[in-house]
Amino acid sequence: MIVGVPKENFPGENRVALVPANIAALKKAGIEVSIEKGAGSDAGYPDSAFTEKGAKTTDSRADLFHSADIVLFVRALGANPQAGKSDLELMKKAQIIIGAMEPLSEPDSLKLLAEKGVTAYAMELMPRITRAQSMDILSSMATIAGYKAVLLAANALPRMFPMMMTAAGTISPAHAFIVGAGVAGLQAIASAKRLGAVVHAYDVRPAVKEQVESLGGKFVELQLDTGDAETKGGYAKEMGEEVLRKQREMMFKVVADSDVVITTAAIPGKKAPILVTADMVKGMKPGSVIIDLAAERGGNCELTKPGETVDLDGVKIIGPINLPSTVPYHASQMYSKNLTNFLTLLVKDGAAQINSDDEVLAATMVTRDGQVISKG
């Protein structure tokens, strides 16, 4: 059983799907590893680090695909809609493809994979169950994004985060407001608190109040009837427009009083909900900063432009894209561990076990035997 790891060809993608530290675990499972030369260089993992652990390297991407039974991607076709198509002609029937694929928003890409006869596993569909936590790439990458969002905000803000008592006077702390207390939001709360900010947070799921407070944040109570705001999988549900309107009205003052606003609200496969309006931005002090982690999904702020910084009367709205790729060493480490755990579930005694009765494998499989497997 050979696992191939190609160099990522999505523009600006610096991560690699497998790091050298996980090769030993794959060997124990009867898996050999082949790496395209330079695959890990941008993430800080030279070819020599892979070969020292027993991996083979190849100059040819075509040869890598030809020899591999399983191919690991950070961004497979779907999550890499342009350059990813060039790999289609290299794939072979019955090959297994594993990676991020944007299956809910890019269904046409799944059809192309099905036509090649490959068995594809989209890691974004990992079920939110206890035994799958160690394979959950969304949580891993959200952790990176939440951390980096705070650093971006601290760098853009014309003031410091912590309170300081100095001979030149007392510096008051910055006030940060985190919207959405999922994995990214909780990491943003923890990181902003560590830097010394006064942190407030809000989520439509009242149950996360305890988690927010355990990290030193103050939970903002908005008296809204959100009903059952959480799916069975642990994600926030899409709220109706009336609930969103009332939510925005109640958030107005909190946003105005904040130096930093970090928004993290996303609904899988849907456009991100607008939570911060242009009027709310106008109510913020000049020099304030908004970091919109939902920029790639259209943004939680009405003024967000993905990949750009918008300035409205001195308030910066930053719409970062692919934040995990800006911390590629540790992002790759976490992603690789997720995939390694998945592979050791999939491969037994040196052979892939296509087990549709396993909840994890069944939930993530999106193509098999020339067919797209519907997820609803």
Per-residue pLDDT averaged across 142-155, rounded? 98
Tell me what pLDDT residue 350 has: 87
Per-residue pLDDT averaged across 284-293, rounded? 98
User: pLDDT grade, residue 375 (50/70/90)?
Assistant: confident
Angstrom distance (rounded) from CA 345 to CA 359: 11
User: pLDDT grade, residue 236 (50/70/90)?
Assistant: low
Measured at the CA of 144, the angle between CA 251 and CA 207, to 5 degrees, comes to: 45
Residue 13 has pLDDT above 80, yes or no: yes
Q: Strand locations in the chain, DSSP E?
A: 2-5, 32-36, 56-58, 70-75, 96-100, 119-122, 164-166, 169-171, 175-179, 198-202, 218-219, 260-263, 289-292, 309-312, 315-318, 347-348, 351-352, 365-368, 371-372
pLDDT digit string, tens, across residues 339-363? 999 999 999 988 998 888 899 999 9
Residue 234 has pLDDT above 60, yes or no: no
**CATH number for the domain formed by residue range(s) 142-325:** 3.40.50.720
Tell me what pLDDT residue 71 has: 98
Whether residue 133 lies in the annotated active site: yes
Instruction: Please identify which of the residues 42, 69, 136, 292 carries the catalytic annotation.
Output: 136
**CATH number for the domain formed by residue range(s) 2-125+331-366:** 3.40.50.720
Angstrom distance (rounded) from CA 93 to CA 114: 9
3-state helix, strand, coil in the chain (%, to 5): 40, 20, 40
Residue 50 has pLDDT above 60, yes or no: yes
Instruction: Please identify which of the residues 34, 95, 139, 247 carries the catalytic annotation.
Output: 139
Instruction: Please identify which of the residues 67, 105, 194, 235 carries the catalytic annotation.
Output: 235
Angstrom distance (rounded) from CA 209 to CA 245: 22
User: pLDDT grade, residue 225 (50/70/90)?
Assistant: low
Tell me what pLDDT residue 80 has: 97
- What percentage of the chain reaches a pLDDT higher than 70? 95
Residue 228 has pLDDT above 90, yes or no: no
pLDDT digit string, tens, across residues 120-131? 999 999 999 999
Tell me what pLDDT residue 57 has: 97
Tell me what pLDDT residue 374 has: 79
Instruction: Please identify which of the residues 41, 67, 105, 133 carries the catalytic annotation.
Output: 133
Can you give the residue ranges of every domain in the chain?
A: 2-125+331-366, 142-325
The residues, any chain, with a CB within 8 Å of residue 97's CB and separated by 6 or more, are 70, 71, 73, 76, 91, 113, 118, 119, 120, 121
Average pLDDT, the chain: 93
Tell me what pLDDT residue 232 has: 52
Whether residue 136 lies in the annotated active site: yes
User: pLDDT grade, residue 237 (50/70/90)?
Assistant: low
Instruction: Please identify which of the residues 47, 63, 67, 128 carries the catalytic annotation.
Output: 128
- What percentage of the chain reaches a pLDDT higher than 90? 86
Whether residue 187 lies in the annotated active site: no
